A and B are shown apart, each in its own frame.
Chain A
């Protein structure tokens, strides 16, 4: 009887788990349904898509607890060093700021290689006086 009952409940239990799991997140706010590293990776993915919309990014950041917020800002700054100034300015904790300085203090990280100039040959070595 009990065995029969538990077998009959199993499909419902699985369905419930799947419903709780919910479909793939489609927006930043959906990431909160996930947990652990998957949640933070989801926020990074949707956060990167918001980089060109500072107001939307700020709105998204406002929904996060301070730890997740700093983590996201830092990961975005490392992934997009050219925007580190804008992102690291919003970091709240000292430990995140320390790590942000790895990007902020290195402005060349935000530069991209340029094609060599036509006259970009190396300067001649100093000649014998």
Chain B
């Protein structure tokens, strides 16, 4: 009775220091989580343990930790952390599956997992073209399967685009090579690889003299080869890496994007996909040169009057984004747009960028 009363008056003293440092080893951390006295601390501990298991590509152990987190935002967060870490580990099928369980955070998860994904060993510009085509198709297939159960019907489309775009970029960017054959592939896999080829070519281009867009198109056609320093490809777990060293493609939803085929770009922007492979190479070149931080508006202005609408709109967007904040350059872009095609979409693009 007395003992009961004593217990009723107070709680037990915890056996462990609830704020003790977390062990680095995931197994030790998981064991530590089970000893913690307060639900909030148990939850964050389990999320951290799940992420560490995922880093080591230990999917069942990561899943067990997430399953032990109460349903709600923190369970979603657990799957988000696991999804992005599995992307870094290169296990895309499991990454997509966990992103598909990340609830409200699923789109964030897809973006992080995709752009930080590690490519399979040996994948690069010198890979067999048929093997690359198969790898791209397999990627789309596992991403679709992983995300299909999510209640947001738009997630599958967004996820397949993000993973494919990131894959295409990482195949080339940082490789130090511009082998053109993979970027000759047709379909969405080819378009994603062209983004990668052009971005790497823009990085390797020694200077921006002449018409650098035309030079990159020559590279895509195999008539010019650029080689240079190879860098670690992709992004690391902290989101650092060669893709993050350029000018980011801003997430501007431009009027012309609606309904036209497009691919995501690093940073959140979108690029249009051309009506044919040659047109697509020019669009990819313009976007790649925008990514290169020393490119000025003069490089894009000749293409503001291009007869191909998607090329023209891409050039207008790039020129306007580069000119932002500089009244003199901005006026030059507006004059070029007004004096060239003078189409409503181009004017709307300038206006949309100006509002940012």
List chain A positions with a Cβ less than 8 A from chain B: 13-14, 17-18, 20-22, 34-41, 67, 70-71, 74-75, 78-79, 81, 93, 95-96, 98-99, 102-103, 106, 108-109, 111-113, 116, 119-129
| Chain B residues whose CB sits within 8 angstroms of the CB of A18 once the complex forms | 5
List chain B positions with a Cβ less than 8 A from chain A: 1-2, 5-6, 8-14, 18-22, 37-38, 40-41, 43-44, 47-48, 73-74, 77, 80, 104-105, 108, 152-158, 160-161, 164, 186-188, 190-192, 257-263, 270, 273-277, 279-280
| Chain B residues whose CB sits within 8 angstroms of the CB of A40 once the complex forms | 11, 38
Alpha-carbon distance between A124 and B11 when the two chains are bound, in angstroms: 57
Contact indicator A128/B188 (Cβ below 8 Å): yes
Q: How far is the CB of A6 from chain B (nearest CB, A)?
A: 13
Contact indicator A75/B77 (Cβ below 8 Å): no
| Chain B residues whose CB sits within 8 angstroms of the CB of A14 once the complex forms | 1-2, 5
Contact indicator A102/B11 (Cβ below 8 Å): no
Interface residues of chain B: helix, strand, loop or mixed (majority): helix
Nearest residue, chain B, Cβ from A41: B11
Contact indicator A121/B11 (Cβ below 8 Å): no
Contact indicator B18/A71 (Cβ below 8 Å): yes
| Chain B residues whose CB sits within 8 angstroms of the CB of A98 once the complex forms | 21-22
Nearest residue, chain A, Cβ from B281: A129
Pick the contact of A35: B10, B190, B258, B273 (CB < 8 A): B10
Contact indicator B77/A125 (Cβ below 8 Å): no
Known contacts A17-B2, A21-B5, A122-B153: A78-B21 contact under CB 8 Å: no
Contact indicator B13/A36 (Cβ below 8 Å): yes
Nearest residue, chain A, Cβ from B278: A129
Contact indicator B19/A38 (Cβ below 8 Å): no
Alpha-carbon distance between A13 and B3 when the two chains are bound, in angstroms: 12
